[in-house]
Amino acid sequence: MTENTAAAIEFARSHRDRFVDELKALLRIPSISTLPEHAGDVRHAAESVVAELRRIGMENVRLIETTTAEHPNGHPLVYADWLHADSAPTVLCYGHYDVQPAEPLDEWTTPPFEPTERNGNLYARGAVDDKGQMWMHVKALESLFAANGGKLPVNVRVLIEGEEEVGGEGIAWFVRAHGDQLRADVALVSDTEMFAPDLPTLCVGLRGMIYTEVEVRGARTDLHSGMYGGAAPNPFVALAQIITKLKDENGRILIPGFYDKISPPTQDELKAWKALPFDEEHYRQTEVGSPELTGEPGYSVLERTWARPTLDVHGMPGGFIGAGAKTVIPAKAIAKISMRLVPNQTPAEAFAQYKASVESIAPRGVEVVVRLIHSGDPIVVSTDNPYVKSATTAMHEVFGTETVFVRGGGSIPIVGDFVRELKIPTLMMGFGLPDDNLHAPNEKFHLANFHRGIESIIRFFCLVQA
């Protein structure tokens, strides 16, 4: 470790409490990107990140607006750079400052936007996904600036979006239209998990997705179910019939052609996954908590969640959902349905196959409209570059163990564009834990991992320079 690295680590260690306090302030802002009534909060979060990037010494710090005719009400991007490290490589740091909705609120032990420390964890919506992890980047940069006379060991660009949780259209537009302003040698993404506590992890693949709505209309207006039941179509029953024809009891998706182009993981990958410390029964009990796990027979849980497509229903708005009973045949109903995609599937083709399938299986008596809400490509990143070595060395210095290589079942739509549009290797170095409750009540960030993440990133920047 060089003197400069040691000084930055020392700075980070002696400012741990302040770093956490600042993160708490950011977590108090309910920057829920999908809810229009929170647009002001989303912008407020972006502005506070801008202010901090300026304060620590980044340059060209600004908000980039993403609203266009095709993309109304876009949330702003946060951009910053520092490009004075001469011949050193340029790292593009990515994160997102938007969060998922916090419902159901009554299942939170402490309120989602009142960050609270308990047992070494910081509980709040966005703690780990992704404000806490994005803040690790900012605090690593601050530590390097502060300990090294206002200089960084590498060139850095920072790009932080506020629409990741709604599909990332704004950032995709910017990367495609203005890729020249993002020239870099490697992208660093901290928005994934470690495979297990104390096990440094690089994520090398993500599933893609298509998020859709199916709207079913039957009668002209809501009807009395006694007077009309038996003669009038019920949109919820129609949706149930459609859904059960999309996926069978074994978890196999029945959409014609859906699996045709899938490229399976390599034998080497499958072998490496078998060697990971994974206990299916422990996973069922502690993470899932259902009486049994479901899914395709013949595939391990890791294959099912990382390398197989899936189809899920997220909610079915419509009808009567109040307390008590109301005998109504709703005129319309909606199902929010998404599919996770795996390498070689494309969102466009998957959506076309799905739409045709839904239209062909819709029962008599109803009209069906299938809408695409957002989508993202599946991705597998190459590990054949020197930055992987810098990352694993950095994490070895912090954790004292070898890095494992995994895939993730989730999606980060922009990673595909970093690889395809910017043509740069992407490192997904995340510090979440499997039980951090992403998107769920009681989301948390294990604070030890927040600090280890900051130290890993400091060391990574210093190693990349060498």
Binding residues (CB under 6 A) for ligand BES: these are 129-130, 164-165, 167, 191-193, 206, 209, 374, 376, 408, 410-413, 438
Nearest distance in Å: CB 451, ligand BES: 20
Choose between 162 and 376: whose C-beta lies nearer to ligand BES. Answer: 376
Choose between 193 and 215: whose C-beta lies nearer to ligand BES. Answer: 193
Choose between 233 and 408: whose C-beta lies nearer to ligand BES. Answer: 408
Query: Would you count residue 191 as binding Mn ion (CB under 5 A)?
Result: yes
Q: Interior CA angle at 5 toward 424 and 151, to 5°?
A: 70
Chain-centroid distance, C-alpha 61: 24
> Residue 410 and residue 63: Cα distance in Å, rounded?
27
**68 and 148 Cβ atoms separated by less than 8 Å:** no
Q: Which tokens belong to 413?
A: 């739509």
Report which of 359, 314, 363, 72 is spatially closest to residue 212, judged by C-alpha positions: 314
167 is in the binding site of which of Mn ion, ligand BES, none (Cβ under 5 to 8 A by kind)? ligand BES
Choose between 193 and 417: whose C-beta lies nearer to ligand BES. Answer: 193
Nearest distance in Å: CB 34, ligand BES: 9
- String marking each residue 329-368 x if it binds Mn ion according to CB under 5 A: ----------------------------------------
Query: Would you count residue 417 as binding Mn ion (CB under 5 A)?
Result: no
SS3 for 314? strand
Query: Would you count residue 455 as binding Mn ion (CB under 5 A)?
Result: no
Choose between 52 and 193: whose C-beta lies nearer to ligand BES. Answer: 193
- Beta bridge pairs of residue 380: 205
Q: How many CA atoms lie within 13 A of 97 on its CB side?
A: 33
Alpha helices in 346-411 (DSSP H): 347-361, 386-399
Nearest distance in Å: CB 459, Mn ion: 23
411 is in the binding site of which of Mn ion, ligand BES, none (Cβ under 5 to 8 A by kind)? ligand BES
SS3 for 259? coil
Nearest distance in Å: CB 192, ligand BES: 4
Choose between 168 and 233: whose C-beta lies nearer to ligand BES. Answer: 168
Choose between 75 and 332: whose C-beta lies nearer to ligand BES. Answer: 75
Q: Which tokens belong to 466?
A: 């060498």
**74 and 163 Cβ atoms separated by less than 8 Å:** yes
* The amino acid at 150: G
Choose between 374 and 459: whose C-beta lies nearer to ligand BES. Answer: 374
Nearest distance in Å: CB 412, ligand BES: 5
Burial class, 36, CB count within 10 angstroms (exposed 0-12 / middle 13-18 / buried 19+): exposed
Nearest distance in Å: CB 164, Mn ion: 6
Report which of 382, 345, 399 is spatially closest to residue 269, judged by C-alpha positions: 382
Query: Would you count residue 193 as binding Mn ion (CB under 5 A)?
Result: no
Nearest distance in Å: CB 288, ligand BES: 15
**34 and 165 Cβ atoms separated by less than 8 Å:** yes
350 is in the binding site of which of Mn ion, ligand BES, none (Cβ under 5 to 8 A by kind)? none
Choose between 130 and 215: whose C-beta lies nearer to Mn ion. Answer: 130
Query: Would you count residue 130 as binding Mn ion (CB under 5 A)?
Result: yes
Nearest distance in Å: CB 186, ligand BES: 19
Choose between 29 and 223: whose C-beta lies nearer to ligand BES. Answer: 29
Nearest distance in Å: CB 320, Mn ion: 31
Choose between 142 and 443: whose C-beta lies nearer to ligand BES. Answer: 443
Q: What phi and psi values does residue 453 have, to the nearest 5 degrees?
A: -65, -45
- Beta bridge pairs of residue 370: 214
Nearest distance in Å: CB 56, Mn ion: 23
- Beta bridge pairs of residue 229: 232
453 is in the binding site of which of Mn ion, ligand BES, none (Cβ under 5 to 8 A by kind)? none
Report which of 102, 82, 138 is spatially closest to residue 458, judged by C-alpha positions: 138
Query: Would you count residue 436 as binding Mn ion (CB under 5 A)?
Result: no
Q: Is the dihedral of CA 181, 414, 453, 40 positive or negative?
A: positive
What are the CA-CA distances from residue 151 to residues 79, 160, 367, 387, 451 (Å)?
18, 21, 62, 21, 21
The region of 45-53, 184-192, 266-274, 316-324 touching Mn ion under the rule CB under 5 A is 184-192
Nearest distance in Å: CB 105, Mn ion: 18
Q: How many CA atoms lie within 13 A of 37 on its CB side?
A: 1
Virtual torsion, Cα 33, 137, 385, 466, nearest 10 deg: 160
**195 and 127 Cβ atoms separated by less than 8 Å:** no
DSSP state of 89: -
137 is in the binding site of which of Mn ion, ligand BES, none (Cβ under 5 to 8 A by kind)? none
Name the site residues for Mn ion (rule: CB under 5 A).
129-130, 191
